Amino acid sequence: MKGRQNWGLLVILAVMALSGFLLLREQSPASLLEALGRVHPGWVGLGLGLMLCFVGCEALCSKRILGRLGHRLPYRQCLGYSFAGFYVSSITPSSTGGQPAQIYYMSRDGVPAAHGSLNMLLLAVCYQVVSLGYAVTAFLLLPEVRAGLGTGLGLLLLYGGTVTVLLTAGMLSMMFLPNAARRLTGGLVTLGVRLRLVRREAQVRARLARQMAEYRRGAECLRANLGMLPALLGLTLLQLTCLYAVPYVVYLGFGLREAGLFQVAGAQALVSVAVGLLPLPGAVGAAEGSALRAFSRFFGPGLAAPAVLLARGISFYSFLLLSAGVTLWVHLRARGRTAPKGCGAAPAPRPAAPYGSSRSARNASRKSSSLRSRPRSPARPSM
């Protein structure tokens, strides 16, 4: 893990240097400072506040889910998990390291790995559904933004949108159509074996079975707590709105007023889908280049580069540093305590009664008890 993180940091630094050169090669330092000096610090503070809300919404979702599983954790503890996830996701390709890191720190605090992975699964499903809905809405309702993307960004959007649709459909199928998903994944593994793309068939099938068990548990949790799903989707919608609104705050900071919130936030939603699944730590480089293309129509050629630099500085680089400090604190706190023996299989406190009747509560309790006796490896869907 440490080796991957070190390589991720080195890649980020190298691509940051290259991105900065490409963004600012046609702009002198004096003109850049002059442009940035036009922005009142209050707008920067508002952007940072939106990012705090972004991380805080995920922490609140975790608190609700873990509370339903019987773990009454303080909000500040869940906030620490979310900052750790932000940091590790930012320095690993395609954000693949954030969820395992969060599950690890939860397990150090006595949350069974099965419950931690279930929490991350539900967060990932909600995130994918809402981000896809945001992007589709922006694509359909903002033809002028769509037309201004250009060929290169349009192809990236096609790639990212296709992969996001497949991931979202796969997650929902594994949760609510397990038999169809089992047949489909089994057929894909068989095809991979025939094409010699899959070498260890037994291991791949066992891993798929564990992941499908995770998704099945997620569906059972949602059925037992039907009132929780709208709350999770609403918090995720607020979370992504805060993230996508950062460029609009920068837009207002430069004294521009022609475009509306939905136009700028919609453009950011399309950029996020286009570059979010690229195998680059934090999508560094691709995010800046794509944003420069998408936001040129709003900021104009003279302010586009400074605006992208400031927006990414608020939404990524500043929070990368902040989350690194919080992750260090979480890590030192976790090292100071001994993980419970068999933390992945340790019996958890009795889950709180879900929304609904007492019979639903008893059924949910029996399901949770049977799940705790057979912990599974965490699923790692990409966020």
Q: Rounded to an integer, what distance in angstroms lies between the CA atom of residue 260 and that of residue 109?
A: 44
pLDDT at 42: 96
Q: Which residue has the higher pLDDT, 93 or 364?
A: 93
pLDDT over threshold 50, residue 376: no
**Two tokens at 19?**
């991105």
Do 221 and 114 touch, CB atoms closer than 8 A?
Answer: no
pLDDT of residue 364: 43
Closest Cα to residue 46, out of 323, 278, 185, 251?
A: 251
Instruction: Give the angle subtended at the CA of 38 by the CAs of 37 and 39, to the nearest 5°.
Output: 90
Residue 342: pLDDT over 60: no
Of 64-78, 215-229, 359-373, the range with the highest mean pLDDT is 64-78
Looking at residue 282, its pLDDT comes to 64
In contact, 371 and 217? CB cutoff 8 Å: yes
Task: Band the pLDDT of 33: cuts 50, 70, 90.
Answer: confident
Distance (Å, rounded) from C-alpha 302 to C-alpha 296? Answer: 9
- Contact between residue 243 and residue 50 where contact means Cβ atoms under 8 Å apart: yes
Identify the residue whose tokens are 């900065």. 20
Contact (Cβ atoms closer than 8 angstroms) between residue 89 and residue 12 = no
List, for residues 157-168, the tens digit of each pLDDT value: 999 999 999 888
| pLDDT value for 17 | 65
Predicted confidence (pLDDT) at residue 4 exceeds the cutoff of 80: no
* Residue 325 burial (10 A CB sphere; 0-12, 13-18, 19+): exposed
pLDDT at 184 over 80: yes
String of DSSP letters for 34-57: HHHTTS-HHHHHHHHHHHHHHHHH
Q: How confident is the model at residue 25 (pLDDT cuts 50, 70, 90)?
A: low
Percent over 90 (pLDDT), the chain: 42
Q: What is the pLDDT of residues 35-62, one digit of tens each?
A: 888 899 999 999 999 999 999 999 999 9
> Residue 381 above 60 pLDDT?
no
pLDDT of residue 30 exceeding 50, the answer is yes
pLDDT band of 355, cuts 50, 70, 90? very low
Q: What is the pLDDT of residues 205-252, one digit of tens each?
A: 888 888 888 888 888 888 888 888 899 999 999 999 999 999 999 999
Residue 382 pLDDT class (50, 70, 90 cuts)? very low
Does residue 171 surpass a pLDDT of 90?
Answer: no
What lies within 8 Å, CB to CB, of 50 at 6+ separation is: 242, 243, 245, 246, 249
Q: Is the dihedral of CA 334, 338, 340, 341 positive or negative?
A: positive
How crowded is the C-beta side of 354, counted as CA atoms within 13 Å?
24
User: In angstroms, rounded to a whole number, what is the distance separating the alpha carbons of residues 264 and 110?
Assistant: 42
Length of the chain: 383
- If one compares 8 and 257, the residue with the highest pLDDT of the two is 257
Q: Provide the pLDDT for residue 52.
A: 97
